[in-house]
Amino acid sequence: MIKGKCCICGTVKNCGPFLEKVFKNIATIGKLFDDYKIIISYDNSVDDSLAILRKLQHEYTDKLILHIGTEPLSEYRVYNIAKARNQCLDIIRSQFPDYEYFIMIDCDNICASPVKLESLLYYLVINTEWDALTFNKTPYYDLWALSKYPYSFSCMHFKNWAQWGKFIEKHIQNTPPKKLIPCLSAFNGFAIYRTNKFINGFYDPRPRIDLLPNHLLKENEKICGPVYLHGKAGLIDCEHRSFHLMAVNNGARIRIAPEVIFP
């Protein structure tokens, strides 16, 4: 058991087929800590997600806090996800500010396979040189959330975005096991955070280019061409980037582990 308490947060919209498996993983992870709470922010779904969550409330009576999202929803999915994640943060701030950790976990197929705890335990107990920690997937799929020098901004705001995938795959292949990879932003379906480093931030789904030092953007443009911020591209970005960059600018260490915990 890890000394400390943890809030495990998720956003749910049309995740019905995966919820019970994801909750098993959440419970498995939660038992690593002195205590844990589950915070779920739900948005209107067309499947049976809400009915399953209501059932899970009876199974996790003293653990699960369920927030039902309010209308209207944005036409942009990322705005809705950011709103839901921010609601989770609001609940942590108001009810669990003393919890040392919080986790954001995707509640769909990405985190539905049985979690492998060995690597997570290693980084909770032995290699603790991180403030936010994400893990590898095979293949590494979450390129939109990724910012790692020299690919420091959003892959979706450059024409040649496929470079991000080749870059991170090669980087992970060349990284020895148990050695963390520094980055500016990453998620890949699961991330654990030290609460005191991130609790004052928020998820912003807009392209927060102001949070990125200008020299990093210029170096990104050197290898990928000019950043594109017109039309829809000027309105949306992955919500994780702003959240992470706010913390990095305040000294937070964001890392990617080369191990996979959700095969």
* pLDDT at res. 65: 98
Domains and CATH numbers, the chain: 2-260 (3.90.550.10)
Separation between Cα atoms, residue 102 and residue 66, nearest integer Å = 16
Q: The tokens of 19 are what?
A: 């919820």
Separation between Cα atoms, residue 244 and residue 238, nearest integer Å = 11
Buried b (16+ CB within 10 A) or exposed e, 39-61: bbbbbebeeebbebbeebeeebe
* pLDDT at res. 161: 75
* pLDDT at res. 222: 94
* pLDDT at res. 71: 73
Give the strands of the sheet with 190-194, arranged side by side: 64-68, 33-42, 2-12, 101-105, 190-194, 132-136, 254-260, 181-183
67 SS3 class:
strand
Q: Is residue 4 left, alpha or beta, with left meaning phi > 0 and alpha meaning psi from -120 to 50?
A: left
Q: What is the pLDDT along the chain (263 residues), one digit of tens a residue?
A: 788 999 999 999 999 999 999 999 999 999 999 999 999 999 989 999 999 999 999 999 999 999 998 777 899 999 999 999 999 999 999 999 999 999 999 999 999 999 999 999 999 999 999 999 999 999 999 999 999 999 999 999 998 777 889 999 999 999 999 999 999 999 999 999 999 999 999 999 999 999 999 999 999 999 999 999 999 999 999 999 999 999 999 999 999 999 999 99
Kindly tell me the sign of the dihedral angle through the C-alpha atoms of 51, 56, 58, 63: negative
SS3 string of 12-52? Answer: ECCCHHHHHHHHHHHHHHHCCEEEEEEEEEECCCCCCHHHH
Residue linked to tokens 């280019």: 209
pTM over the 0.95 mark: yes
Separation between Cα atoms, residue 227 and residue 157, nearest integer Å = 6
* Residue pair 25/107 in contact by the 8 Å Cβ criterion: no
* Residue pair 183/146 in contact by the 8 Å Cβ criterion: yes
